[in-house]
Amino acid sequence: MPQTRTYLHPEGAGEMRADKALSAFLSGEISRTRLEDSFKAGKVLLGGSPIAKKYLLRAGDKIVLEIPDTPKTVVEPVDIAVEVLYEDGDIVVVNKPSGMTVHPGSGTGEDTLVHAMMHICKGNLSLAGGSLRPGIVHRLDKETSGVMVMAKSDAAYFKLVEAFSQRLTRKEYIALASGAFHVSNGSVQKPIGRDPVHKTKMCISEGPDARDARTDWRVLDSYGGRASLVACRIYTGRTHQIRVHMSDMGHPIFGDYTYKFQKNKFREIPPPQRVMLHSWRLELPHPISGKTMTFEAPPPEDFASLAKLLKRTYTYTE
């Protein structure tokens, strides 16, 4: 359970930033990183209200702070259902549900994909990538569903990492995108980097941190000029790559409010509750045998239902 501490800025002391005063007060007890987590979580209170780490404390100020639990260094198995598409002694391929984070991180609980897979695989996942990321060689966003491969043996881990880095895999997604495309297929080759203002977002960028990104796309179906079902193949694995490229083209993905999807343009349908992006096909060489293997997962019910609704609502009314 989290612990609380009380700090009284002493009489006669000059003004001091809250983070510096508390860091000195808690020296040897918690790290600066954990103290910063308390500030970010709004757990450092003055008079019952959260304060920022830059807040200048004055003599007599009484601070009550909650210290977060010590982060776990291992992932414990948790009995959570996840569909397994294939498994052998070296790899396991799953159909990740939307809404599930892949591995533990800041703010996550014990409901990530690796928690589930540690239970399903009875702990037999490679730890070569770190004890908090057992088996992870690539990732999907939390809201993205679909095919993912994980490594069970260390030999498989290193071979899979190599396969992804050398682009020996073929990753294909489907997305429900806004608007109608003027041509049936195309390719976007624009570098992606961190948004300079909103640090949790990515953007088309020529900045020093930008990296090349390529997305090939083709239209599978069109719904009355209002929406499209699009297949996307990515050659690079940049964060939010398909989402950024589609938005930059003027076709933000349904439910992607981070990247310009506007629900008020589609008043005839309920607002989507997640980003409608699904990893439907993954082709890769088996890390041990070298045999080419292909895995597919149909889109989940929410994706399929929205596609049918878009077709029914817009195709037949315009």
Q: Which of 141, 209, 212, 216 is catalytic?
A: 141
For 38, the enclosing helix (H) or strand (E) is: helix 32-40
Residue 96 burial class via C-beta count within 10 angstroms: exposed 0-12, middle 13-18, buried 19 and up: buried
Q: Are 293 and 145 in contact (CB under 8 A)?
A: no
Cα 36-40-42 angle, rounded to 5 deg: 115
Contact by Cβ (8 Å): 126, 153:
yes
Q: How far apart are CA 115 and CA 84, in angstroms?
A: 14
Q: What angle do CA 46, 50, 52 make, to 5 degrees?
A: 100
Q: Active-site residue 141, yes or no?
A: yes
CA–CA separation, 57 and 62 (whole Å)? 9
Element (H, E) at 62: strand 62-67
- Rounded to 10 deg, the angle between the 32-40 and 18-25 helix axes is 130
Contact present, 224 and 244 (Cβ < 8 Å)? no
Q: Which residues are catalytic?
A: 141
